[in-house]
Structure 1
């Protein structure tokens, strides 16, 4: 949440006097070259193996690169590009405008999202240009990469002070790499600059206003954009709501109860399928297996194919398994836990596809660019405490409440060793008319956060998916109730008269 320095003030100075009336003059637009740029729309397919591009092409999308300034305080200086995709409206008679998307992260690529979002919108989608955006330094946009040995800076500190000290050294090394490899762009890798890029995209598309659909971190981006450019927003849907008062590099703190609840629900589902997964016939038996895996990883790293899963990594596998409430995600997680159980027993293990992807993301640099951007945005937005002892005390307190998740969500990260943000945090407007969507069991953007945002914004409406441990709902979970409510708002621009509660689907 970073403070606002106006970027594109369009101040009209017109003076009419009796007698000789001087011609109206306009203050020059410092971003005119960006606002009025000509976009070259082309095929989205980058090559034979580009599945994302092929899906976009099949859906009728075209892609373009939008030029934006690296530093909005110096728009005549260095430029970067932001990649966008667009499926144009087909119902031009009832066209609403452009709907920009952001799927979260921070650092998540969104350019490939228009096809499935357009499908979720059903007939309403025909009235919008659905626009995917890879934010600055993400995906097909101008790249940044700190050359990390991991795709995520999030780790468990382990069970003792020695583990915490290793975790602190790891976080400091990640920060050092970012200064070494990307120090020049780090000050400009922020949510506020991403919001400014969105407004350049709006202008380059020829739109007076844009509508917006954001998930997870994308809800915070939407809050910032609507605060910085209140006259430029139309219909706003925020799904998996980030509470701006809690947004910071430590935004996972407080999510331990929701993650524990999600773990218990998964364990009950897995116990009912013991003949398939063999992890236990009761919920508590399955949870005991999870605890035994953690204890084994504390004693010695577990051999899982080419990977070594130690006490800092094993909790992350569990944490990463808890965000989607459906049979496929639950089954993938159960197979991963079965693999780790076998590894803990000394068996030779070839990891299942989900576990292999999770370990590759955590233990290799194959997605270093994603982790680099994610942490750079968080560190660039809001300062974090700099004294490691602050984190050690918080880890110990949280461990007493939840020994698995508490240390993870309170651990030290690279932001403790980052340069201070260039701008102050954004104070989000409290009159934002928006449709908020959240599941009661969301383990990432917890439901209490959505409730707090709704209380602070009397002009908002809250759509609650009750009884699901689901992160991101519209078009993802499969709730006809949620999807219909969102589509009605996108179709009419009118928020529901009252808040809406939808029931979760049974497993």
Structure 2
């Protein structure tokens, strides 16, 4: 449940991010403790029946160009990078491999050094619900070293992008909304969630139970087999870390070199995982506010951190009294906290300047005049109010992974209990979701991730989407893992995204040379790893 996040290259003009549900991404802020994890098996057991659809392992792929039409920018970037695309047939329901099938789209950029090729590296940009075909084009540009040693494999997970997509018919790409200041506004958000769930059920009810991460992990293993590989290496961001961890649990003996960046807490990933994120989000907001104060002459939000935060709170309170008019949109208390959350996923100069420009526009709108939205804010508003269908699979995946409370009162009581100490973000991250009204229940229990598969967990201690305590929980659950931490960053996606040579070198030494650090690694700006 996170921003679907593709890391930006170290030196570019702007973020390359698909707007999904922030959290993602994301994880609860409660540490697990030891819980006897040292006794976990070195490799997870492949569950009984997981190999039954063996006939799918021997299909022959029809590789072709990736661009589907003149407006297909993702396909065009793949073609320009020398990629090819194909479709893999998989069972809809792995318990019935002889039944209905669906198609999963993959992309491939072949290793540029065939003699030194060591296998395939499957990638996932996050989400959930984010298509992943074109991530390999970016990776090929940013990391020639990876491209030389691996066939880079992109994949649109089942029901996303080109992979038998679910269409919910929503006029929004993001279902995350704030409950607002009172019972009336909470009831409004609950009514919207109920409506969204009902819309998604129309025409999709028969496939919704099979949108789970466990089934996507099974699809990954079919892709591995179809590509003729005995093992699978993997790079996943945000939600992709949960997907990767589930794969290690289900198919641990087939996992090769696994990198999980901006890891979520595997024990809480599901409809309510955002509820512990407030301290990390607030810390990231304060870091941006300090930057904005230092650039007050450019943005006029206040010349101290306290003044900038006061401007932010003024915007939130004003929108609760009457909607703000931004372009053709009316922005109220349901929308403001989300608009003040998503931009915190990046901490670079341009990202911070864009966020300051957005807040300036919102602050101007509190005077009652119609304000023209700056481009970055307009993109977020378009996503909130019109939608493209690009993330229609997000709720189906989350709701298929873990059941949510179906009693609206449980959400309202939780919000009220934390309203005093979480006035801005609490009503957003603790609010009810479509899963409370979902028409189907999960067909499998949530995956308990506990194994000793060697994994490199990558993150930073200021991540607002996947808070550091959740990253550490993933590290503890994967007892064979090592963790590399970038200190002092406030962003989502660290490898390549942060442009930090220490992090990048540590990750690539593992992926390319197979050297998993002997212990956890701490990185600061552009120094050699410590640890």
TM range (shorter): over 0.9
Of residues 375, 395, 401, the one that matches 1:381 is 401
After superposition, residues 228-243 of structure 1 pair within 5 angstroms as: 228-243=250-265
- Structure-2 residue corresponding to 1:42: 64
State the SS of the aligned residue for 1:484: helix
Offset of 1:91 from its aligned partner?
A: 1.4
**Structure 1 residues 397 and 504, CA gap change in structure 2 (3 angstroms):** farther
Q: Within 2, Cα distance between the matches of 1:8 and 1:387?
A: 35
Q: Is residue 81 from structure 1 mapped to residue 103 from structure 2 by the alignment?
A: yes
Offset of 1:30 from its aligned partner?
A: 3.4
Q: Within 2, Cα distance between the matches of 1:6 and 1:329?
A: 47
Q: Which runs of 5+ in 1 are unaligned?
A: 10-28
Q: Is residue 469 from structure 1 mapped to residue 523 from structure 2 by the alignment?
A: no
Q: Is residue 499 from structure 1 mapped to residue 520 from structure 2 by the alignment?
A: yes
| 346-355 or 117-126, larger mean C-alpha shift | 117-126
Of residues 395, 404, 407, the one that matches 2:427 is 407
Q: Within 2, Cα distance between the matches of 1:62 and 1:368?
A: 25
Q: Is residue 398 from structure 1 mapped to residue 421 from structure 2 by the alignment?
A: no
Of residues 459, 463, 466, the one that matches 1:442 is 463
Q: RMSD between aligned alpha carbons?
A: 1.7
Q: Which runs of 5+ in 2 are unaligned?
A: 1-44
State the SS of the aligned residue for 2:341: helix
Q: Within 1, Cα distance between the matches of 2:248 and 2:369?
A: 54
State the SS of the aligned residue for 1:280: coil
Answer whether contact 1:4 1:426 (CA < 8 A) is retained.
Answer: no
Offset of 1:406 from its aligned partner?
A: 0.9
After superposition, residues 83-482 of structure 1 pair within 5 angstroms as: 83-364=105-386, 366-370=387-391, 372-418=392-438, 419-482=440-503
- Structure-1 residue corresponding to 2:504: 483
Offset of 1:369 from its aligned partner?
A: 4.4
Q: Within 2, Cα distance between the matches of 1:458 and 1:293?
A: 45
Q: Within 2, Cα distance between the matches of 1:64 and 1:368?
A: 22
Hey, which bits of structure 1, 4+ residues long, moved more than 4 A?
none
Q: Within 1, Cα distance between the matches of 2:499 and 2:57?
A: 38
| 461-470 or 494-503, larger mean C-alpha shift | 494-503
> Residues 103-123 of structure 1, C-alpha deviation per residue, up to 9 Å, x if partnerless?
110011111111222333332
With structure 2 as the length reference, what TM-score do the two structures score? 0.88
Higher normalized contact order (CA 8 Å, seq sep 6+, divided by chain length) = 2
Q: Within 2, Cα distance between the matches of 1:245 and 1:314?
A: 29
Q: Within 1, Cα distance between the matches of 2:298 and 2:388?
A: 32
Q: Within 2, Cα distance between the matches of 1:4 and 1:286?
A: 52
State the SS of the aligned residue for 1:194: helix
Aligned residues: 483
State the SS of the aligned residue for 2:340: helix
> Residues 288-344 of structure 1, C-alpha deviation per residue, up to 9 Å, x if partnerless?
111111111101111100111011011110011111111111111111111111111
Answer whether contact 1:44 1:61 (CA < 8 A) is retained.
Answer: yes
Q: Within 1, Cα distance between the matches of 2:215 and 2:511?
A: 26
